[in-house]
Amino acid sequence: MKFIDSYIKNLKSETTWFEKIESSGLGIRVMPSGNKSWFYRFSMNGKRQKMSLGKYPGIGLKQARELHTEAMCLKEQGINPVEHAQLVKLKVENTFDKLVVSWYENYAVKHRKQARPIKYQIDSDLIPLLGHMELDKIQTKDIAAALDKIVQRGAPIHANRILSTIKQVFNYAVSRGSLQHNPAINIRTRDIGGVEKPRERVLSSDEVKTIWNFLESELCEMSESARMAIKIIILTGVRTGEIRLAQWHQFNFEQSLWTIPPEHSKGAITVKIHLSELTKEILIKHKQTNDSLFVIPGITTDAPLSKDALPRAIKRIQKRVGIPEWTAHDLRRTFATQLGERLNIDPVVIEKCLGHKMPKIMATYNKNEMLPQRQEALDKWSTLIKELIYEPCEVA
């Protein structure tokens, strides 16, 4: 007997299951329920064996024959097709992406106070860089190469954070018996992102003025999105991720309020940012030529600006205007420092402006969001920036 499509299609169920089989060993089983499934029956080393090839009609006759042919070829090479299929399945299931998701769901979510930043690491770096690799084939050099890519995009400190997470993930695998040793154990942060020293860079008023004026000049060849993102960071002190992922529905221009959702904030809390008149003016002007859901769209309007776009843009500014090395986070530090030193804003108000998660004891007893005080602080800062950038140049 040799199967044809119409024969398989017209096989009717009976009170008990039955099988039909070709001389080559390709067979089909029909259950009382009417469900049909393919199999390959063969003998190897004197033992009769049976290999499942999938369910009909999801697997049609043509595909069943292809699977059957592959299995016969393995058998002719002395390879047991059943054991081979099990090994392939094990390799697919034993990849880094499966491990890191298991670690996140079974450990990080339960034991980390803030699991969301870890999820961001997994989605943006860990899976894209290592996810496809089989666990038993990942070597120290593979991990180092992945971390080097992060360093090369200008994020050495982030590379150190990723290394820390990778070590924890592999320790989890060792403890569960999935690996014999941790391939990341001997990689040191000083060999990747370098020894971390707390940054204390605070830009001077003249440096802020120079950067702003460059962003508005014809010499600046950056995209309008990147220009505006840097201006908004200067005016509000938000993190790069908060402005990069911002969507227009988060902004209420009538109430002069930007509400950052927990999934976009580092502390996994809702952050409210007052919009000064200058900030609103910049945003509204940008919105008139922006049909994207994202305030800062990337190359395509359906996606936000890539996370390495701003660091690249800032490096270009450094080269063009000659200001010593600075980062977007230095703008945030400058914002906080100037609020305190120049405008005499209360430290608690500054913490609220920065969207910092308050210490537990303080958060328990002080639910006051201090919106009026934050509004006053941001309006004063905006006025200072306005005076700074429109300050007339001295004539010699």
Confidence check: pLDDT of 29 > 50:
yes
pLDDT for 92: 53
Q: Taking residues 124-146, report their average pLDDT.
A: 91
The Cα 108–Cα 72 span in angstroms is 45
- Please name the residues in contact with 381: beta carbons below 8 A apart, sequence gap of 6 or more: 235, 276, 335, 338, 339, 343
Domain covering 96-191 assigned CATH 2.170.120.20 in the classification:
no
pLDDT for 144: 94
Quote the DSSP letter at residue 106.
Answer: I
pLDDT confidence of 303, banded at 50, 70, 90? confident
pLDDT digits (tens, 9 = 90+) for 310-356: 888 888 888 788 787 888 889 999 999 999 999 999 999 999 999 88
Handedness of CA 376, 379, 385, 391 (dihedral sign): negative
Four-way CATH pick for 205-389: 3.30.565.10, 3.90.1150.10, 1.10.443.10, 3.40.50.150: 1.10.443.10
**Which range, 41-45, 124-128, 231-235, has the best average confidence (pLDDT)?**
231-235
pLDDT digits (tens, 9 = 90+) for 213-256: 999 888 888 888 889 999 999 999 999 889 999 999 999 999 99
pLDDT confidence of 89, banded at 50, 70, 90? low
Handedness of CA 219, 223, 225, 229 (dihedral sign): negative
pLDDT for 319: 77
Alpha helices in the chain (DSSP H): 5-9, 61-76, 81-93, 96-103, 109-111, 116-121, 127-130, 140-152, 156-175, 205-215, 224-236, 240-244, 277-287, 309-321, 328-341, 347-354, 360-365, 371-389
User: Which residues are bridge partners to 54 per DSSP?
Assistant: 38
Equal CATH topology for 5-92 and 205-389: no
Is-above-0.75 flag for pTM? no
Asked whether the beta carbons of 76 and 25 are under 8 A apart, the reply is no
pLDDT higher at 54 or 84:
54
pLDDT for 312: 84
pLDDT for 363: 47
Find where tokens 């002190």 sit.
237
Domain ranges in the chain are 5-92, 96-191, 205-389
Find where tokens 């080097």 sit.
148
Asked whether the beta carbons of 32 and 16 are under 8 A apart, the reply is yes
Please give the class, per CATH, of domain 5-92. alpha beta
pLDDT digits (tens, 9 = 90+) for 357-381: 766 544 443 456 788 999 999 999 9
The Cα 20–Cα 12 span in angstroms is 12
Q: Taking residues 90-106, report their average pLDDT.
A: 81
pLDDT for 361: 44
- The amino acid at 315: K
Q: Taking residues 119-147, report their average pLDDT.
A: 90
- The amino acid at 172: Y
Confidence check: pLDDT of 88 > 70:
no
Confidence check: pLDDT of 166 > 50:
yes
pLDDT for 264: 86
- Percent of the chain at pLDDT above 70? 92
Q: Taking residues 34-53, report their average pLDDT.
A: 89
Question: Residue 150 corresponds to which tokens in the numbers above?
Answer: 């992060």
Confidence check: pLDDT of 396 > 60:
no
Confidence check: pLDDT of 274 > 80:
yes
pLDDT for 321: 82
Q: Taking residues 172-196, report their average pLDDT.
A: 85
